[in-house]
Structure 1
Amino acid sequence: MSVRKARAVWQGTGKDGTGQLTSDSGVLSSTPYSFKTRFENEKGTNPEELIAAAHAGCFTMALAFQLQGAGFTPTELATEAAVTLEKDGPGFKIAKSALTLRAQVPGIDRTRFDELAKAAKEGCPVSKLFNAEITLDATLG
């Protein structure tokens, strides 16, 4: 079992307040977040951006393991995750994570590649966390 930690500190109201996120690894260190970084374009981060980064990273690593197990070594796996936040009654919900993958994998055929990519999409721990639609647009070059 592995436990990873991050902390959030918030001061002020929801709309006018500000927060900082810090992770044990130090990658996030008092990183600012606020209403403006979440719903506007102020510099800083937001929960959806961090979830997108986690999903892209998790899926890509899962696919690397799937490919390795099948005897393939990718030259490059480049994934973007686009997380959609939408209104849900009085609040919001994460409704979708759209993965876009561009892959260079020598010697693999399209059918096998699609099978392994689908297994990675369904099997990565972050995908399992979501109660949302997950799509995958995979290009093998």
Structure 2
Amino acid sequence: MLTTKDGISIAFHFTPGKTGDAKALGKMIDKLPAESSLYGDSTYTDYGLEDIALERKCILLKIQRKSNVKRVDTLEQKYEKPKMRKRVETAISDIKKMFPRTIHAATLEGLLIKLTLFVFGLQLNKSIN
């Protein structure tokens, strides 16, 4: 899920559990406006994807780095990235709070529709408050 800095969801993509986060992100890059900044945790580390996003649309992928990486962050980036990522994690957690104990769906499509409605419900809740 991609959110604004205020936690408003702007894009999301459902993938099978075996799909890597960086691969899923690659499917959403084209939906972003040019000159965006995107924050993610270390599971999104993919230097090729970072380069492609920058070349195609001037999108900066600000991925939180592990200690043993080739592209090292400045001290400012090391402080900024976790702070921005927390906003996304909070948005996801707010959506999960809206879930009932169980979600009954007879088909995969039905489940995806219900999950999508929870995302929209969070947006409505945020706009009311």
TM-score range, shorter chain: under 0.3
TM-score (normalised: structure 2): 0.27
Structure having the larger proportion of residues in helix: 2
TM-score (normalised: structure 1): 0.25
Could you say which structure has the larger radius of gyration? 1
